[in-house]
């Protein structure tokens, strides 16, 4: 136990840090943490718009969705007429003593067409293509929601890293002042070497923490720059005073019901089930006949004369109805029907699994946000208490009833509390976006709402 721990031997220090110095340190922490808006800071909405035009994963999902409409149009061609043009030229050479003519040239041109009249398999294929187009659109919705969450997460990760670095620098500055005071007091004989060594140890630890915080901020900035396709992105901090909006609706069951009906994954699984049901109809259609309207127009020209054919042009046309009735396919149709029945059962179970999964994820996200909001309130109270505790410890140090280590501990507690409070606020904002994503309700308006919490 060092000398200053004994009240009988403790002497009044020659010089003590003033409360004014503390206020300056706290102001430095606020400035370094990004509480004041930068001149050229970018908003969350602006960076999301930049990311939507740059992100490769989102652009790939958009291209995939846009291609689905052309795939659906290919299926629609099954109900439309088709026409073909055919032409041929044949030259026949006859080398025989009895031949009147030794050669002739026959030219033919024909146009044939077909219009389906009855084909249940084609009708099922067209309906499947339409539902596949809807499923592709749900994939794009999921990609949009994922991009929103990724941009918001990267955005607030940078803000959190800035806060951590700001608090680390402010803590280091405060510890530096305490270290200088401890050295002065030891030189004049009003404190022991223990105070100096404790302050030096805290200073070395603060230096290491600052280096780690600088590197973490650098990494977070690179990730955000890469996501939005820009360099030197500077996010806007939260507006002060920070007021986080309450959850609306405020109960988990309502969020779960919304997820059960509106989540893109649930809707996609339901569409997959409907497609599987149509596949059963298509398989059963293998037993049914098909009816087509067929017709053709042909023209042939014989350029020479033989003993059996005269030179000239012959035109012909025909129009009719063609019926095809399947008789036997080696049990291929029956086995295909059995296969599709089992695949339809699988798709039905996939729907139930998707509903359960999104419901569970939504409830977890809801309680995570709810817990985060309570944590923010608790940390706000802890911040006020830590500030009062630090002021009291500083006063006790000035009158000689507290030692240097007590001041260092109080300062560290305040800076850590403010860092945790800022991180908790960011977690609540991003968590609410993730909650809306989990319930399938995340839209661009939610980005605007989160952007409204930032400094102007």
Task: Mention every residue, 6+ apart, whose C-beta is less than 8 A from residue 57.
Answer: 143, 146, 147
Strand partners, 324: 290
Concatenating the DSSP letter of every residue in 357-406 gives HHHHHHHHHHHHHHHHHHHHHHHHHHHHHHHHHHHHHHHHHHHTSS-HHH
Task: Estimate the share of the chain in helix, then strand, then coil, as percent rounded to the nearest 5.
Answer: 65, 15, 20
Same domain membership, residue 162 and residue 144:
yes
Same domain for 76 and 87? no
Q: Which residues pair with 296 in a beta bridge?
A: 112, 318
Is the residue at 145 inside a domain? yes
| Co-location of 273 and 153 in the same domain | yes
Q: What is the pLDDT of residue 177?
A: 84
In this prediction, residue 34 has a pLDDT band, given cuts at 50, 70 and 90, of: very low
**What is the pLDDT at residue 28?**
44
Q: Which of 214-228, 276-290, 306-320 has the lowest mean pLDDT?
A: 306-320
At 17 the pLDDT is: 43
Distance CA 30, CA 220 (A): 20
pLDDT at residue 431, rounded to an integer: 96
**What digits encode the pLDDT tens for the residues 116-157?**
999 999 999 999 999 999 999 999 999 999 999 999 999 999
Collapsed DSSP state (helix, strand, coil) of residue 247: coil
Span 195-200, average pLDDT: 86
**What would the two tokens of residue 416 be?**
């850590």
Indicate the helix (H) or strand (E) that contains 83. strand 82-93
Q: Is residue 105 a part of any domain in this protein?
A: yes
Domain limit, last residue, from 325, 345, 376: 325
Q: Is the same domain home to 91 and 145?
A: no
Strands ordered across the beta sheet of 82-93: 82-93, 103-118, 290-302, 312-324
Is 296 contained in some domain? Answer: yes
Number of domains in the chain: 2
Q: Could you tell me if 248 and 352 lie in one domain?
A: yes
Highest mean pLDDT: which range of 16-25, 237-246, 354-363: 354-363
Q: Any idea of the CA torsion for 436, 437, 439, 445, to the nearest 10 degrees?
A: 40
pLDDT score recorded for residue 405: 76
Given a cut of 70, is residue 293 above it in pLDDT?
Answer: yes
* Region 19-29 average pLDDT: 47
Are residue 233 and residue 85 in the same domain, yes or no? no
What integer pLDDT is reported at residue 308 of this predicted model?
56
In this structure, the answer to whether residues 11 and 159 fall within a common structural domain is yes
Angle, helices 332-399/252-262, rounded to nearest 10 degrees:
150
Tell me which of 98-112, 267-281, 372-386 is least confident. Answer: 98-112
Task: Please indicate, yes or no, whether residues 317 and 363 belong to a single structural domain of this protein.
Answer: no
Is residue 231 a part of any domain in this protein?
Answer: yes
Residue 379 sits in which domain range?
3-80+120-287+330-451
Task: Give me the CATH number covering residue 102.
Answer: 2.20.200
Among residues 325, 341, 375, the one where a domain terminates is 325
Last residue of a domain, one of 273, 308, 325: 325
Together in a domain, 12 and 100: no
CA dihedral 256, 261, 266, 270 (to 10 degrees): 150
Distance separating alpha carbons of residues 285 and 337, to the nearest angstrom: 10
Place of tokens 């026949």: 92
User: For the packed helices 44-54 and 444-451, what is the interaxial angle rounded to 10 degrees?
Assistant: 140
pTM for the predicted model, two decimal places = 0.81
Residue 298's DSSP bridge partners are 110, 316
Is position 192 within any domain? yes
Tell me the three state secondary structure of residue 302: strand
Measured CA to CA, the distance from residue 376 to residue 372 in angstroms comes to 6
Whole-angstrom distance between the N-terminal and C-terminal Cα of the chain? 53
**CATH classification of the domain holding 196:** 1.20.1600.10
Task: Indicate whether 280 and 305 sit together in one domain.
Answer: no
Q: Are residues 158 and 295 in the same domain?
A: no
* Environment class of 449 (CB within 10 Å of its CB; exposed 0-12, middle 13-18, buried 19+): middle
State how far the Cα of 162 lies from the Cα of 169, in Å rounded to an integer.
Answer: 11
The answer to which of 26-35, 159-168, 244-253 has the lowest mean pLDDT is 26-35
DSSP string for residues in 22-75: HHHHHHHHHHHTT-SPPTTPBPHHHHHHHHHHH-HHHHHHHHHHHHHHHHHHHH
Distance, in Å, from the CA atom of 336 to the CA atom of 275, rounded to the nearest integer, reads 15
Give yes or no for residue 37 having a pLDDT over 90. no
Buried b / exposed e over 57-88, threshold 16 CB at 10 Å, is ebeebbeebeebeeebeebeeeeeeeeeeeee
Q: At what angle do helices 264-284 and 120-188 cross, to 10 degrees?
A: 160
67 and 179, same structural domain? yes
Please state, in angstroms and rounded to a whole number, the distance separating the CA atoms of residues 67 and 386.
59
Beta-carbon contacts of 16 under 8 Å, excluding residues fewer than 6 positions away, are: 181, 397, 398
User: How distant, in Å, are the alpha carbons of 128, 200, 204 from that of 179?
Assistant: 75, 6, 11
**Assigned domain for 456 exists:** no
């Amino acid at each position: 136990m060092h000398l200053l721990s004994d009240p009988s031997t403790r002497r009044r220090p020659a010089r003590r840090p003033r409360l004014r110095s503390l206020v300056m340190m706290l102001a430095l922490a606020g400035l370094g943490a990004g509480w004041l808006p930068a001149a050229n800071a970018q908003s969350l909405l602006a960076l999301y718009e930049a990311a939507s035009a740059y992100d490769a994963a989102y652009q790939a999902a958009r291209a995939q969705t846009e291609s689905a409409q052309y795939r659906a149009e290919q299926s629609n061609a099954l109900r439309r007429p088709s026409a073909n043009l055919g032409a041929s030229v044949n030259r026949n050479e006859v080398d025989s003593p009895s031949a009147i003519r030794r050669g002739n040239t026959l030219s033919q041109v024909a146009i044939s067409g077909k219009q389906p009249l009855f084909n249940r398999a084609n009708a099922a294929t067209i309906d499947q293509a339409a539902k596949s187009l809807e499923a592709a659109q749900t994939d794009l919705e999921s990609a949009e929601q994922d991009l929103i969450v990724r941009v918001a997460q990267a955005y607030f990760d940078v803000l959190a890293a800035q806060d951590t670095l700001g608090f680390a620098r402010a803590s280091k500055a405060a510890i530096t002042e305490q270290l200088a005071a401890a050295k002065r007091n030891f030189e004049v004989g009003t404190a022991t070497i223990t105070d100096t060594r404790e302050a030096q140890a805290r200073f070395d630890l603060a230096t290491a923490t600052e280096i780690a915080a600088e590197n973490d901020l650098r990494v977070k900035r690179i990730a955000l720059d890469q996501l939005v396709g820009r360099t030197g992105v500077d996010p806007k901090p939260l507006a002060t005073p920070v007021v986080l909006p309450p959850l609306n609706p405020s109960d988990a069951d309502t969020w779960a019901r919304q997820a059960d009906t509106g989540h893109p994954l649930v809707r996609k699984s339901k569409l997959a089930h409907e497609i599987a049901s149509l596949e059963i109809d298509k398989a059963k259609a293998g037993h049914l006949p098909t009816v087509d309207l067929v017709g053709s127009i042909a023209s042939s020209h014989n350029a020479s004369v033989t003993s059996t054919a005269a030179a000239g042009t012959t035109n012909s046309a025909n129009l009719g109805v063609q019926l095809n009735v399947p008789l036997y396919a080696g049990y291929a149709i029956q086995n295909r029907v059995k296969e599709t029945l089992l695949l339809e059962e699988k798709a039905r179970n996939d729907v139930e699994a998707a509903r359960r999964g999104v419901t569970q994820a939504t409830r977890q996200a809801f309680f995570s946000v709810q817990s985060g909001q309570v944590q923010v309130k608790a940390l706000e109270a802890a911040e006020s208490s830590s500030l009062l505790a630090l002021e009291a410890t500083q006063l006790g140090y000035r009158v000689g009833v507290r030692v240097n280590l007590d001041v260092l501990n109080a300062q560290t507690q305040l800076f850590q509390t403010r860092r945790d409070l800022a991180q908790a606020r960011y977690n609540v904002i991003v968590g609410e976006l993730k909650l809306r994503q989990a319930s399938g309700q995340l839209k661009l308006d939610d980005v605007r709402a989160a952007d409204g919490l930032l400094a102007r």
